[in-house]
Amino acid sequence: MKYKCQKCGFIHIGDLKDGYYCPLCGTGIFDFKEIESDKKEINYKRVYVSPDNPAISRIDEKCIDCGACANTCINTVNIRYKNPNKPICINCGQCVLTCPTGALVPKYDYNKVLDLIDDQEKTVIVMTSPAVRVALGDAFDFKPGEFVEGKMVAALKKLGFKYVVDTTFGADLTSMEEAAELKQRIDNDDVLPMFTSCCPSWVKYAAIYHPNILPNLSTCKTPIGMGAIYLKKFFAKEKKIKADNIVVVALTPCTAKKYEIENSDCDYVITTSELALALRENNIDFKNLENKTFDELTGSSSGTIYGTSGGVLLSALRTYYYLETGNDLTPEMILINNKDFYKEYVIKINTKIIKAATVYQMGNLEKLLSIKNEFVFIEVMNCNYGCIGGGGQIPMPIINMQEILKKRSASLLKQDKTAKIRYPYKNPIIKKVYDNYLTAPLSKKSMELLHTKHKSLSKEFS
């Protein structure tokens, strides 16, 4: 038997049982109508991708209507459709990673960027997110998780970017501001727990489904947001470049960053998979490139671990501990408890016990919300294992996905153990930024440039 949902058009094959809900719009069996056998109906199971979606696109001729994308969106990303006529997308691109035919892809912007590189009037600067350097090698026969930072920088220089800088610089700025904000909230017992705001998919999810907790989200812009405004506001003056002639490009593992920059000083986002395409199309032999180093703006290893689940929280806690004590928070001072669907972090600061948590994937977040008041600080990431599992990464064999993600995470954490600068407040570039431009975290200038307000999207999708 075939039944059609009268609200969204989804076709169910087989008998309908009590308790069944439409996987696309969530309606119950009372809104399904039996299809007569002599009528031809399309079994439409895929998610709707709007033409103006800034993050992802569908190549229709590759789509086999298998339903993998809808299954991912509903069961993994936890999207609940309030109104089938207003499809919800948090731009995370997890459907891209589970599409078996490559019909879903990041919205390609790399050719626009390459055209701007050729424009002699433009100074094109690229910022590189930490998670890219442990996934880009997958496209060029490196071992899963292999750290290819040097070759990545060399490849970007080969493509013609004027400056190649590290988004870990922006991550260090974020940690400084976020730790100061956390301290202020704890000291004043004001709107706790505080949630991280680095993941645009999580922020959009909260704005749609949980607008009541938006005051709990940190007001900090993301590392890309902070890095971009620094490049246009201060770096431009240092290099005597007209700000209008600077084009800031973020290289990220994340398709949702394409949505985020619609209200940002960053001009373009290209994903890990887009960079791989650009290198192949320009005949750049990635595997045999000599390692190169970043131009000037780099961060501590606390910025590097932003790329994996727990990294943002750990970096902010390190900085918060320093603000409270003047000392470094070392690994043996942190008690980490692995729970069923989240991790708990406990540290002691003088007479205070600070409890924090990290969680990834929105289904797990929903469970954590019921116990959120046990914590003062919560890191939330939409994607599996955090940014290393972003929708803009090189697609992985699904059967090996968990193993590959673990290797990517371990590769970033290894850098933290061997780095010369492990703490944001010890980064001399960060010291210079505050001494020369911002004065201090949460200063009037910092609040003006590095912080934002979160707006509810609940009515927009009702």
What was the pLDDT predicted at 40? 42
pLDDT tens string 287-320: 999 999 999 899 999 999 999 999 999 999 999 9
CA distance 393 to 254: 7
b/e burial code for range 262-291 (CB count within 10 A of at least 16 → b): eebbbbbbbbbbbbbbbbeeeebebeebee
pLDDT tens string 418-434: 999 999 999 999 999 99
pLDDT tens string 48-76: 898 899 999 999 999 998 999 999 998 88
Range of lowest pLDDT (32-36, 203-207, 236-240, 249-253): 32-36
Parse the chain into domains and list their residue ranges: 1-44, 176-220+298-450
- Residue 249 reports pLDDT greater than 60: yes
CA distance 102 to 104: 5
What was the pLDDT predicted at 87? 81
| Prediction pTM value | 0.89
- Residue 39 reports pLDDT greater than 50: no
Q: HSE, CB side, 13 Å, CA atoms: give it for residue 391.
A: 36
Looking at 14-83, list the stretches that DSSP marks H as alpha helix, in order from N- to C-terminal side.
68-71
- Residue 381 reports pLDDT greater than 90: yes
List strands edge to edge, sheet with 32-34: 11-13, 2-5, 32-34
pLDDT tens string 184-237: 999 999 999 999 999 999 999 999 999 999 999 999 999 999 999 999 999 999
What was the pLDDT predicted at 370? 96
pLDDT tens string 335-357: 999 999 999 999 999 899 999 99
What was the pLDDT predicted at 36? 66
CATH for the 1-44 domain, from 3.30.1490, 2.40.50, 1.10.730, 2.20.28? 2.20.28
Q: Which of 132, 96, 184, 256 is nearest to 442 (CA)?
A: 184
Q: For the chain, what is the mean pLDDT?
A: 93
Largest CA distance in the chain: 77
Which is higher by pLDDT, 197 or 21?
A: 197
CATH for the 176-220+298-450 domain, from 3.40.50.300, 3.90.1150.10, 3.40.50.920, 3.40.950.10? 3.40.950.10
Q: Which of 226, 220, 123, 108 is nearest to 167 (CA)?
A: 226
CA distance 335 to 320: 16
126 by DSSP, 3-state: which? strand
Same CATH topology for 1-44 and 176-220+298-450: the answer is no
> What is the share, in percent, of the chain residues with pLDDT greater than 70?
96
- Residue 457 reports pLDDT greater than 60: yes
Which is higher by pLDDT, 52 or 34?
A: 52
What was the pLDDT predicted at 31? 79
Band of residue 45 on the pLDDT scale cut at 50, 70, 90: confident
Contacts (Cβ under 8 Å, ≥6 apart) of 330: none
